[in-house]
């Protein structure tokens, strides 16, 4: 038998276990406080903030809205969503390419003591890392923008597999970029047969009311309306 020269530690496994603990703590906290937490993920430039502002405008008369803005640096997006009436906290990740359970829990707790009924986590712009980390959300929502191409589900399958709702933003530019919504949807269905797909335009507002209606139903089904 070969002599053991050193110990081998699986760092990733340890990180995943630690993150799972914080994600579960976030879930318990949100359940106690009646918070419906939405993890919004997309590539840089996909239009997360523009679409988010449309959704805030549609939902804010019925639900109190909070936003956790995650950025490597800067606060331009936080300023924008605040102007639309959302209670906002800015998180600077210091170079991290994703939010994790610990960061999300910190952001949620910072929005107290009068916690919003619905909190959107606007995750770091990235189609890879955010898909790998559970943050304790009730819903994983992703945005694919038309200029990125209708083949993105083939290139980044995990994001399209774990997400529970997909918005195809900038649909008003589909002809310009030769984007085939049906082909894109077919790619998605092979990874996630039950995921609803909403074509939208953050710029014109097209399709965002349908997304807001769908979200209202999901929030009501959860039974979360500011319990504490």
For residue 225, being part of any structural domain is answered with: no
What pLDDT sits at residue 11? 42
Tokens of 109: 């707790």
Residue 46's φ and ψ, nearest 5 degrees, are -75, -15
Q: What would the pLDDT profile of 17-31 be if each residue is shown by its tens digit?
A: 787 899 999 999 999
> What separation, in Å, do the N-terminal and C-terminal C-alpha atoms of the chain show?
60
For residue 41, being part of any structural domain is answered with: yes
Q: What's the domain count of the chain?
A: 1
d(CA 91, CA 73): 8
For residue 10, being part of any structural domain is answered with: no
For residue 228, being part of any structural domain is answered with: no
Tokens of 13: 């496994």
Lowest mean pLDDT among 43-52, 83-92, 200-209: 83-92
pLDDT band at 160 (very low <50, low <70, confident <90, very high): very high
What pLDDT sits at residue 202? 97
- State which residues form the domain around 36: 17-220
For residue 78, being part of any structural domain is answered with: yes
For residue 105, being part of any structural domain is answered with: yes
What pLDDT sits at residue 76? 76
Q: Closest Cα partner for 224 from 86, 115, 102?
A: 115
Task: Tell me the pairing of strands 165-169 and 118-122.
Answer: unpaired
- What whole-number percentage of the chain has pLDDT above 70? 88
d(CA 97, CA 153): 20
- What whole-number percentage of the chain has pLDDT above 90? 75
For residue 4, being part of any structural domain is answered with: no
Residue 170's φ and ψ, nearest 5 degrees, are 65, 35
Q: What would the pLDDT profile of 93-148 be if each residue is shown by its tens digit?
A: 766 777 888 999 999 999 999 999 999 999 988 899 899 889 999 999 999 999 99
Domain at 29, CATH number:
3.40.50.300
| Strand order across the beta sheet in which 197-199 lies | 87-92, 65-71, 118-122, 36-42, 139-145, 165-169, 197-199
Helix residue spans in the chain (DSSP H): 11-33, 48-59, 76-83, 101-110, 129-132, 152-155, 157-162, 181-191, 208-222
Q: What's the whole-model pTM score?
A: 0.90
For residue 197, being part of any structural domain is answered with: yes
């Amino acid at each position: 038998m070969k002599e053991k020269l050193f110990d081998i530690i699986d760092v990733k496994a340890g990180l995943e276990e630690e993150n799972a603990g914080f994600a579960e703590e976030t879930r318990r906290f949100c359940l106690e406080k009646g918070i419906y937490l939405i993890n919004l993920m997309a590539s840089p430039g996909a239009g997360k903030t523009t679409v988010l502002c449309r959704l805030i405008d549609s939902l804010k008369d019925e639900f109190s809205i909070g936003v956790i803005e995650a950025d490597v640096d800067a606060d331009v997006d936080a300023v924008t969503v605040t102007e639309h009436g959302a209670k906002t906290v800015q998180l600077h990740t210091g170079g991290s390419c994703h939010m994790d359970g610990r960061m999300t829990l910190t952001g949620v707790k910072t929005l107290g003591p009068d916690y919003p009924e619905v909190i959107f986590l606007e995750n770091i712009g990235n189609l890879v890392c955010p898909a790998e980390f559970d943050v304790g959300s009730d819903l994983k929502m992703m945005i694919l923008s038309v200029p990125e191409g209708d083949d993105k589900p083939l290139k980044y399958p995990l994001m399209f597999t774990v997400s529970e709702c997909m918005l195809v933003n900038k649909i008003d530019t589909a002809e310009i970029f030769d984007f085939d919504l049906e082909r894109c949807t077919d790619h998605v269905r092979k990874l996630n047969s039950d995921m609803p797909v909403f074509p939208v335009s953050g710029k014109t507002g097209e399709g965002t009311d349908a997304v807001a209606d769908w979200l209202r139903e999901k929030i009501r089904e959860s039974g979360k309306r500011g319990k504490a």
